[in-house]
A and B are shown apart, each in its own frame.
Chain A
Amino acid sequence: MSLIEVKHLRKEYPNVVPLKDVNAYVDRGEVISIIGPSGTGKSTFLRCLNRLETPTSGQILVDGQDMCAPDVDLDLMRRKMGMVFQSFNLFDHLLVAENIMLGPTRLLGMGKQEAYERSLELLAQVGLKDKALYYPRELSGGQKQRVAIARGLAMNPDILLFDEPTSALDPTMVSEVLAVMKDLASRGLTMIVVTHEMRFARDASSRVFYMDRGELWESGPPEQIFEHPQRKETYDFVFRVRNWQWKIKTLDYDFVAMEASLRTFCARQFLGLRIANDLQLAVEELTSQYLVPMVRKYGIANPNIDFTIGVGEGGEQAQLEVNCSTLFEAGVTFEMMRDNADEISVAVLTRILSEQTMVAPGVMRCTIG
């Protein structure tokens, strides 16, 4: 029998239906990654599992016990299911060690001294033994999340639920949390992780759930989901996630939003700092020195410049494609742009961009890294 079985799970709100009809199972020792676009029911699904949300209908069996039964002892069941939140939710008024000790001492009847020793063990496991007597406010985001994981582990749960554990973190801190999670996965703990970290999903899970629009479209081993998706929805998502696109329609485009979006993309793809910086620089120089001055010079009303960045396997290389066919039609060539730009920009771009080829009139493709 599976550890968790979900049958015809449905959750309705007055205006939306985040979960339509979800069926799934999780076996003991499995690590499940739930991926999919934002706002499509992934977190709701996870929160239904330990009944932080009450399903509208359906059945959730945990260890054979129906979590939706009227006589279920939720407090008891929740002790078997730890949870790690996106925003950590550590108890700010308690020391790190006290955060971890609270459950075992109050709910499992463990002695204080014993609970403290155990909290030190758990902190050592997540690499934070020296922070036992810190307050949460004195820790970085990544450290807080690791403490939260230790707090979840302190109850010796059968299952640990992760609700986007790295989404609130600075990119630099994501890896320390993921490292801890990978370590837990390798120890055979049953984990269900809602995540946007595709690399974690691919490398650390035993199975991946693809959820979209309130439904579970596909589940299977990572190779299937990431290499040979069976459903069109999965294929589109997996493909899109690996590409970054931005369209500049007018000269008043939102430069800040474009930069931020590119940065987020780089972080999600685990691109190295160097390649991420180069990508950023290339897009910046191309727009400000090559494209925009020419658009202005030739008075092109709707420039419609497209940037597309695709990341190769492993994240060591990226491909940048610039589509400026409107300029091309107006008679502007890349040579003219280069001659117009200042010397430093030309030098920078020459260093960054290799294998420049024209794939179509006005469409240039080049490799970075």
Chain B
Amino acid sequence: MHIHRVYKRVIVCAIVALATALALAWGPVSKAVGESASEAPVAEAGATSEATGTDGAPATGEGSAAPSSDAAASSTSSTCEFTTVKEIIGKKLGIINGSVADQILMDMYDGIDQDDILYFNSYAEIIQALKTHKIDVMVCDLPVGQLAVSRNTGICVMPEKLVKDQYGMVLEKNSPYTAMINERLAAYREDGTIEALYKKWTGADESVKTLPEQNWDTPNGTLTVAVGADAEPMSYQRGNEPAGMSVDLMYHAARDLGYGLECRPLALGSLIAEVQSGKADIATSCFSITDERKQMVDMTDPFYQGGMVAVVRDTAAGAGEELGFFEAVAASFERTFITEGRWQLILSGLGVTMLISIVSGVAGLALGFLFVLLRRKREGGLADKLIHALESLLGGLPVVVVLMVFYYVVFGELTIPGVVVAILVFTLLFGASSGSIMWNAIRAIDVGQVEAGRALGFGDRDTFAMVVLPRAARQFVPLLIAQFVSLVKDTSVVGYIAVQDLTRVGDLIRARTMEAFFPLIAIAIIYFVLCRVMARLLGRWAKRLEPKDEPRTIKGVEL
């Protein structure tokens, strides 16, 4: 009983600490959320028409750093902390992982060094870093910048553009589809489809942002498309469905070419690997067309020509109406859980996390026990040595590395779903760790116990099952429970191989709401509760296995 009370106190303390952190980190939150979205129709007709003319020529090469006054005019304000490129040289720049913005900037501007550039996993994080002065500039593509400004206060797009840029789709080197798609893109440029789609996906009207039904004939088979899941408006994920302008474009192309489409939303960083390993035919998101990329993969002609902009802090911020703490939390809660039915996304992520954890936990335990049985056969024998080597190897590698090696190298050629690979990898990892935990506990059992069993006349197997194992279990069961909880937490890296677990879902929501803090805390709390509940349940079950102090009974005996 006493222990339970301590338990509760610990949990309460943790929650209070989390809430305090939440309150401190919140800072002033303005009501303007979402309001400016209405005045931010990003549609920059100039960009698309420009694309028609230049047709694939790398825009970055032609000194196009000249400010384009009309670009982003609607969200540019005179109160930006910086207004020209000159001013931001030497400042801290935040860019997203997997983008080539860093190289482009360093090539174009003297004075921008590697040291000035910080890399982030999502735009939500960059915005948070910008607001909290960890960086001074968020470097992103114009449409992303527009969206960011429309959904956040206190930031603005710097009037002078950094770089002109153009997007293409990515295919495997020498893919048979490249020419086909280029031909379609040219046609869509001619007939105005591209411009119409751009307007549709960057407009304020959310209701029209849907993809066409797949109801056409598909005589030529199915194309697998890896879709960048957090690059709105070019490609993103809404609920469980892909969305975005470039995806819409692929739908048009597939329909006109007679292909079916299978779209898989993935993290930006894993898209190209997905194509290179043949797991997807096409990757589409906001890939800038660069010579470096062209050496590795095929890139289509541009379907969009915009540019890279700098989002900086707005010095006039704070003038807006401030929301109270609870109102702000309520607003964030609604954005994170309610809007677009995101709670369903979170539930499905939680389901995936639990599925991977529990299946890997059970199968891993069985594997670990098998390891123990094999090692027991002959200590110091071949099996013992091999298993020990495997345990050392897996124990000495970061989980995420093992996971990616299995997904991209070991099963690289096979189209096995990421969830299955994740379960296999975590089964192996948990097998190795639980096996070594059990083995060490078993080896620590006094040899006298075994001798006593053998001297009574029990065989090797009976002695193991009746004497050694029950005694060792008292040592290793608590360790296994802790190891299992740690497994649950370790599964949070499966997003790297395109599995949508709880963490990944949190990333997606953050990408959509461009809010770093609340979804992160929400996910943290869900993980915490999940781990505590599992540990408690397992702990209770383990307690039942232990010899009870009172009352003392012997099964099958009347005392």
Is A112 in contact with B556, judged by CB distance below 8 angstroms? yes
Of B448, B470, B554, chain A has the most CB atoms within 10 Å of the CB of B554
A103 vs B449: C-alpha distance in the bound complex, in angstroms? 14
A318 is an interface residue with CB less than 8 A from chain B: no
A85 to chain B, nearest CB (A): 6
Known: A92-B471, A133-B559. A112 touches B554 (CB 8 A): yes
Flag whether A50 is at the interface (Cβ < 8 A): yes
Interface positions, chain B 449-466, Cβ under 8 Å from A, are 449, 451-459, 462, 466
Residues 283-321 of chain A: 1 if any B CB is under 8 Å from the residue's CB, otherwise 0?
Answer: 000000000000000000000000000000000000000
Whether a CB of chain B sits under 8 angstroms from the CB of A232 is no
With known contacts A78-B454, A106-B458, A155-B456, A87–B558 Cβ distance under 8 A: no
Answer yes or no: B292 CB below 8 A from chain A CBs: no
Contact assessment for B452 and A106 in the assembled complex, using a CB-CB cutoff below 8 Å = no
| Cβ contacts under 8 Å, A235 to chain B | none
Taking A85-B451, A89-B449, A106-B466 as contacts, is the C-beta distance between A113 and B558 under 8 angstroms?
A: yes
B547 adjacent to chain A (CB < 8 Å)? yes
The verdict on B199 contacting chain A, using a C-beta distance below 8 Å, is no
Which residues on the A side are within 8 Å of B467 (C-beta)?
91
At the interface, yes or no: A215 with Cβ under 8 Å from chain B? no
- The contact of B455 among A52, A93, A95, A135, by CB within 8 Å, is A52
Residue of A nearest to B452 (CB): A89
Interface: A10 (CB within 8 A): no
Whether, in the assembled complex, B474 has its beta carbon less than 8 Å from a beta carbon of chain A, the answer is: yes
A107 on the B face (CB < 8 A)? yes
0/1 string, A8-41, CB within 8 A of B gives 1: 0000000000000000000000000000000000
* A103 CA to B462 CA, complexed, in Å: 11
From A83, A92, A98, residue with most partner B Cβ within 10 Å: A92
Contact with B along A93-104 (1 / 0, CB 8 A): 111011001110
Within 8 A of B (CB), among A61-95: 75-76, 78-79, 81-83, 85, 87-95
In the complex, are the beta carbons of A89 and B554 less than 8 A apart? no
| B459 engages A75 (CB within 8 Å) | yes
Across the interface, which residues of B come within 8 angstroms of A88, CB to CB?
448
The residues of A that contact B459 with a CB separation of less than 8 Å are 75
The reply to whether B554 and A93 contact each other, CB–CB distance below 8 Å, is no
Q: How far is the CA of A133 from the CA of B452 in the complex (A)?
A: 20
Task: Pick from B458, B462, B470 the residue with the most CB of A within 10 Å.
Answer: B458
B552 within 8 A of A: yes
Q: Once the chains are docked, how many angstroms separate the CA of A89 from the CA of B454?
A: 11
A226 → chain B closest CB, angstroms: 30
A196 close to B (CB within 8 Å): no
- What per-residue 1/0 map shows which CB atoms of B543-559 lie under 8 Å from chain A? 00001000010111111
If A85-B448, A89-B448 touch, whether A95 touches B552 (CB-CB below 8 Å) is yes
Does A151 have its Cβ within 8 Å of any Cβ on chain B? yes
Pick the contact of A91 from B449, B454, B462, B554 — CB < 8 Å? Answer: B449
Is B70's CB within 8 Å of the partner chain A? Answer: no
Q: Are B455 and A83 in contact (CB under 8 A)?
A: yes
Which of A106, A133, A135 sits near B462, CB closer than 8 Å?
A106
Are A90 and B455 within 8 A (Cβ)? no
A85 to B452: give the CA distance in the assembly, Å.
8
Expressed in whole angstroms, the minimum distance between the Cβ of A169 and any Cβ of chain B is: 15
Query: Complex: how many Å from CA A369 to CA B466?
Result: 53
- Within the complex, which residue of A87, A90, A92, A107 is in contact with B458, where a contact is CB–CB below 8 Å? A107
A50 to B455, CA, bound (A): 7
The answer to whether the Cβ of A210 comes within 8 Å of any Cβ in the partner chain is no
Q: Verify B554–A151 contact, CB threshold 8 A.
A: no
Is B446 in contact with chain A by the CB < 8 A criterion? yes
Which residues of B, 462-494, contact A by the 8 Å Cβ criterion? 462, 466-467, 470-471, 474
Name the distance in Å between B300's Cβ and chain A's nearest Cβ.
68
CB–CB B451/A52 < 8 A: yes
Q: Given contacts A52-B455, A103-B456, A107-B458, is CB(A87)–CB(B448) below 8 Å? A: yes
Nearest A residue (CB) for B549: A135
Q: Which residues of A contact B462 (CB under 8 A)?
A: 106
| Interface residue A116 (Cβ < 8 Å from any Cβ of B) | yes
Query: Mask for B378-395, Cβ within 8 A of A = 1, else 0?
Result: 000000000000000000
For B452, the chain A residues whose CB sits under 8 A away are 83, 85, 89-91, 148
What are the residues of chain B within 8 A of A78 when measuring CB–CB?
454-457
Contacts of A52 in B (CB 8 A): 451, 454-455
Contact A102 B456 (CB under 8 A): yes
Q: Which residue of A lies closest to B460 (CB)?
A: A75
* CA A112 to CA B559, docked complex, whole Å: 11
| B466–A112 CB distance below 8 A | no
Q: B466 to A107, Cβ gap below 8 A?
A: no
Q: Are B470 and A93 in contact (CB under 8 A)?
A: yes
Contact B457 A79 (CB under 8 A): yes
C-alpha gap A97/B454 in the complex (Å): 19
Find chain B residues with CB under 8 A from A152 CB.
456
CB–CB A107/B448 < 8 A: no
Question: Across the interface, do B451 and A89 meet the contact criterion of CB distance under 8 Å?
Answer: yes
A78's nearest neighbour on chain B, judged by CB, is B457
On chain B, the residues within 8 Å of A112 by CB distance are: 554-557
- Identify the closest chain B residue to A161 (Cβ): B455
Residue pair B547, A135 in contact (C-beta under 8 Å): yes
A52 to B463, CA, bound (A): 14
Shortest CB–CB separation between residue B336 and chain A, in angstroms?
Answer: 49
In the complex, how many angstroms separate the beta carbon of B407 from the nearest chain A beta carbon?
43
In the assembled complex, the CB of B488 is this many whole angstroms from the nearest CB of chain A, namely: 29
A107 and B455 contact, CB distance less than 8 A: no
- Chain B residues, Cβ within 8 Å of A135: 547
Among candidates A83, A98, A148, residue contacting B554 with C-beta atoms closer than 8 Å: A98
Closest chain-B Cβ to A216's Cβ sits at a distance in Å of 23
Give chain A residues whose Cβ lies under 8 Å from the Cβ of B554: 95, 97-98, 101, 112, 116, 133
A318-362 with Cβ < 8 A to chain B: none
Tell me which residues across on chain A come within 8 A of B453, comparing CB atoms: 91
Contact partners of B457 in chain A: CB under 8 A: 75-76, 78-79, 103, 107, 155
Contact with B along A111-152 (1 / 0, CB 8 A): 011001000000000000000010100000000000010011
Which residues of chain B are near A94, meaning CB under 8 Å?
547
For the complex, give the distance between the alpha carbons of A102 and B555 in Å.
12
Chain A min CB distance to B469 (Å): 10
Residue of B nearest to A113 (CB): B557
B448 contact set on A, CB distance < 8 A = 85, 87-89
Residues on B with beta carbons closer than 8 Å to the beta carbon of A92: 449, 471
Contacts of A98 in B (CB 8 A): 554
Set of chain A residues within 8 Å of B559, measured between Cβ atoms = 116, 133
Give the contacting residue for A82; candidates B449, B454, B455, B552; CB below 8 A: B455
Q: Which residue of B lies closest to A115 (CB)?
A: B557
Min C-beta distance of A363 to chain B, whole Å: 47
Which B521-559 residues have a C-beta within 8 angstroms of A?
Answer: 547, 552, 554-559
- Complex formed: what's the CA distance from A250 to B30 in Å? 88
What B residues does A87 contact at CB under 8 A?
A: 446, 448
Contact bitstring B428-450, A, C-beta under 8 A = 1, else 0: 00000000000000000010110
Instruction: List 15 A-B pairs, Cβ < 8 Å.
Output: A52-B455, A78-B454, A79-B456, A82-B455, A83-B455, A87-B448, A88-B448, A89-B448, A91-B452, A92-B471, A95-B552, A106-B462, A112-B554, A113-B558, A152-B456
| Chain B contact residues, CB within 8 Å of chain A | 446, 448-449, 451-459, 462, 466-467, 470-471, 474, 547, 552, 554-559
**Top 4 closest pairs, chain A to chain B, by CB:** A79-B457, A89-B452, A89-B448, A83-B455
If A116-B554, A133-B559 are given as contacts, then 14 extra A-B residue pairs at C-beta distance below 8 Å, sorted by A number, are A52-B454, A78-B455, A78-B456, A79-B456, A83-B455, A87-B446, A89-B449, A89-B451, A92-B471, A93-B471, A97-B557, A112-B556, A112-B557, A113-B557
